[in-house]
Chain A
Amino acid sequence: MTPFPLAYAWPQGLYLALYVVTLAAHAAFIGYVLAGSGYAAVAALRGRRDPVADVLRDWLPFALGAGITAGVAPLLFVQILYQERFYTANLLLFHRWMALVPALIAGFYLLYLHKAERVTRPGLRAAVIAAAALCFLFAAWSWTENHLLSLDDAIWRDFYGAGRMLYADPRLAPRLLTWVLASLPILAVGASWQVRATAAPAVRTLALLALIGIVGSTAGAFWQRALLAPAARASLESPSIVPWLVALAAARAAELAAYAQLVRVPDSRRALVVATVGGGLALVAGAVVRESLRLAALEPIRDGVAGAGGLPLFLAVFALMIGAIVWIGALVRRGLSPAR
């Protein structure tokens, strides 16, 4: 029982691993932005002082920048693994695809506007952050639709011929629902670490949201499973994926227990650590399980890809990148330390 991605030959397994890991990193930031902008919109509408919303106002622009940067890597690797499908789906949904970047630019500026001190009217602030949340929801919807269309090659010809701009697939709603709800525990982890020192009671609210997110996204995943074709359903049970399903279930169980504890004891550091580790594992395992559904559509490694050089350089530069980012953190920490 060789688990994913070891079950795949070199270099396909490497590309799959890099795709899944970088997608999980991207999802961590984007989940924070998607759920965070929704949370901030609701908080602004309620018009009450909310420590979580204050933190989000401050950090959402950075999280979006980090999410977009992190998203470049899976965007690169998907073009290696599923090039023909990815490009075709982009071309078939080109109106939407070309609207994606302006929507993200608008969302980015709205986050800065939401952060600006000059925007003081609660109604305006709520409208600004709600509009930003809609931009991100639009992006999530477009990606989901594009992903599903890329796998439905039987419809491509008619889709193009009819000049359609929407791909209304029954799997779209549960898939989108799963991802949106799964972003709640991501927000809960990130924001809990940010507010626990100054506003521990707010962690209880975040934990409750995380519980709703975990239960809801799990229900969404089962809804998706019910709509899968038999072959796709069988791929979920393939020997290389089962270990990841088990890991996902274990991670979610740990998260449930940890968040239940945080509802009772919001300042429990131990519970938050368990929720963080469980959330990280759930992200990676979830990305693998998501990928398993389209592994049958993997394109053979093209000659150009197989012969491409530069991997050792990439590995060296990747290590340097990690080192540089850690060093930046250390520099800032030292620079801000009161001893100075």
Chain B
Amino acid sequence: MRGATACRTLPPKPAGFGHHRSGMSPVGAIAEAIPVYPVNDFGPAMKGMVIGAVGILHVFLAQFAIGGGFLLCYFQWRAGRGGADGDDARRFLDGFFKLLVLVSFVLGALTGVAMWFTSIQVSARTIGLMVDEFHWLWAVEWCFFSVEITAGYAFYRWGPRLPDPTRMRLLVLYAGAAWGSLFWINGILSWQLTPGRWTPGALWTGFFNASFWPSLLFRTVVAMALAALVAILVITTFDELDRERRRALIGRAARFLAPMAALPVLAVWYLAVIPADSRGWLLGGSVAMTMFVGIAAGASLLIGLYAGLGLLLRRLYVSGATAGLLLALAFGATAAGEFVREGARKPFTVRQTLYSNSIAPDEVATLRRLGSASLDRYPLRDAARYPTAQLALGARVVRVQCAVCHTLDGANGLVHLTRTWTAEQARMNIAQLQRTKAFMPPFAGTADEVEAVVQLLRWERAGAPAAWAALADPDVGARIQAWLDDAGTEPGSAAEAGGAP
């Protein structure tokens, strides 16, 4: 049985594609290679909201666990020096903070698994590509994570009964493994935006990409800052210590906020190495993206100023309420930062390799001939709702090409976004989608599909009446085809770089 080839018994793709490789045309072979998955409808919520919510929570918890490791090492070092200061450091180490780290790294692991599940829901093809290319590095990351968990639990369980040198070794192992886990995952995530000269199989070219180092250093500083802020909040709850001793502990923890001074430099470095069009969205090209950049920068600045002037220079005492507020600001900065990181990739999920709707750039031309709906082997759940086949086709096209980022009439709803467009304007804007908005992928379907989407949007805007006349005007089709041909199949960023004709 050596070399056994597995037979695929998956449902056949619709007529026109065929699923027999022998005698298949090149176009059919490209279409056959496109994996097609069922698309779920999240109601009024767009899919980005789902992955955003899980992702932000995961990043916040995971980065806190990483910074928490460094902070525990530092306090262990202080505890090992003895004296009253050392006693307080030990009290902090063996207290609530340790439990918080434990909870965060288990929750971090669970939300990490949730990220995988959510990524499958949003773009199975993207996560599949990432797994295919980087699975050995993901396995390496898993090894680091396993050491992190083992060392962390050992310290949690036996730490109070262990001598200082052993405690220190466990904590260094924990912190090193936690940061190592960040190191590996950072390479995979930053590759999505700046793959550079990566080609399939060129692992290290993709991993050590242009944004790898600024991203890694940025996240490391943020992890330290988050740990410091949680530590300060925990210290304010130590009623058994008097205010001066709490102030001293807060001062020690606040030292982990000092590296925030490097954040502006790291942010500029990051901005300098990301693609010009992505940088453009962040710096004014997209109001929403720029606003989130502003939130992240503003919240970080406020924390940094308070830390620098209040905690490090003037050695102010921090109340629990203030510490909580600082932590809330940090959460806001993390959330905004993750939104920016995700959004900067548009219109790709993996730059130049896969669009956000899971269609590859080199597949667009094929789908312009075959139609994107012909890929879709799953029925419409609400097929009876559509009075014409054209509207049903429009619904399928929206599902395949648009549903990953848009709803019809909920969040980022197509009906709302196009409500002021005339039918002719809609035809041209959709056919030349990458010119309409450069962060949109090119339309990957036929002229008939463009018209079907236009009619669907008009019909929805009209209140989805039971009767609706299908429009099949050859002149309209010819005009749409001319717009499609004129726009070409390249992404909008290419047109921007070369100047649209």
Give chain A's interface residues, CB within 8 Å of chain B.
2, 6-9, 62, 64-66, 68-73, 75-77, 79-80, 83-85, 87-88, 90-92, 94, 97-98, 100-101, 104-105, 108, 112, 153-154, 156-157, 160-163, 238-240, 295-300, 302-305, 307-311, 313-314, 317-318, 320-321, 324-325, 328-329, 331-332, 334-336, 340
Contacts and interface: CB of A to CB of B under 8 A. Distances in A.
A308 B6 contact: no
Given A157-B11, A310-B140, A87 B169 contact: no
Contact of B149 (A65, A85, A90, A302): A65
B118 interface: yes
Contacts of B203: 308-310
B144 interface: yes
Contact of A91 (B40, B50, B109, B151): B40
Interface residues of B, number: 75
Contacts of A302: 132
Contact of B162 (A76, A154, A332): A332
A323 B426 CA distance: 62
Given A75-B116, A101-B113, 11 more contacts: A84-B37, A91-B121, A94-B40, A98-B117, A153-B9, A154-B11, A160-B38, A297-B6, A318-B143, A325-B150, A334-B166
B137 interface: yes
A295 B4 CA distance: 10
B64 interface: no
A310 B134 CA distance: 8
Given A69-B145, A307-B201, A340-B163, A157 B3 contact: no
B316 interface: no
Contact of A304 (B2, B3, B133, B177): B133
23 contacts: A62-B157, A64-B106, A68-B110, A71-B113, A72-B109, A76-B138, A85-B10, A88-B37, A90-B120, A91-B39, A97-B117, A160-B381, A297-B9, A304-B129, A308-B133, A308-B134, A311-B136, A314-B140, A317-B144, A321-B146, A332-B154, A332-B162, A340-B163
Nearest to A340: B163
A68 B109 contact: yes
Contacts of A162: 381
Contacts of A325: 146-147, 150
A310 B2 contact: no
Given A87-B128, A163-B381, A309 B204 contact: yes
B35 A161 contact: no
B118 A313 contact: no
Nearest to A300: B6
Contacts of B103: 112
B461 to A, nearest CB: 26
Contacts of A83: 35, 128, 131-132
A304 B135 CA distance: 10
B5 A309 contact: no
Interface in B139-193: 139-140, 142-147, 149-151, 153-154, 157-158, 161-163, 166, 169-170, 173, 177
Interface string B107-123: 10111111011101100
A335 B161 contact: yes
Contact of A160 (B149, B161, B379): B379
B454 to A, nearest CB: 26
B117 A153 contact: no
Interface string B1-25: 1111111111100000000000000
B124 interface: yes
Contacts of A100: 117
B377 interface: yes
Nearest to B166: A335
Contacts of B38: 88, 91-92, 156, 160
B378 interface: yes
B109 A80 contact: no
A236 to B, nearest CB: 14
Nearest to B199: A307
Nearest to B39: A91
Which of B120, B129, B138 has the largest count of A CB atoms less than 10 A from its CB?
A: B120
B200 interface: yes
Which of B1, B2, B37 has the largest count of A CB atoms less than 10 A from its CB?
A: B1
A313 B136 contact: yes
A314 B110 contact: no
B400 to A, nearest CB: 14
A73 B117 contact: no
B382 to A, nearest CB: 9
B140 A66 contact: no
A69 B149 contact: yes
A332 B166 contact: yes
Contacts of B1: 2, 7-8, 238-240
Given A76-B139, A76-B142, A104-B110, A331 B131 contact: no
A259 B80 CA distance: 48
A227 B305 CA distance: 68
A101 B111 contact: yes
A308 B106 contact: no
Nearest to B138: A76
B164 to A, nearest CB: 10
Contact of B110 (A84, A98, A108, A161): A108
Contacts of A97: 117, 121
B432 to A, nearest CB: 31
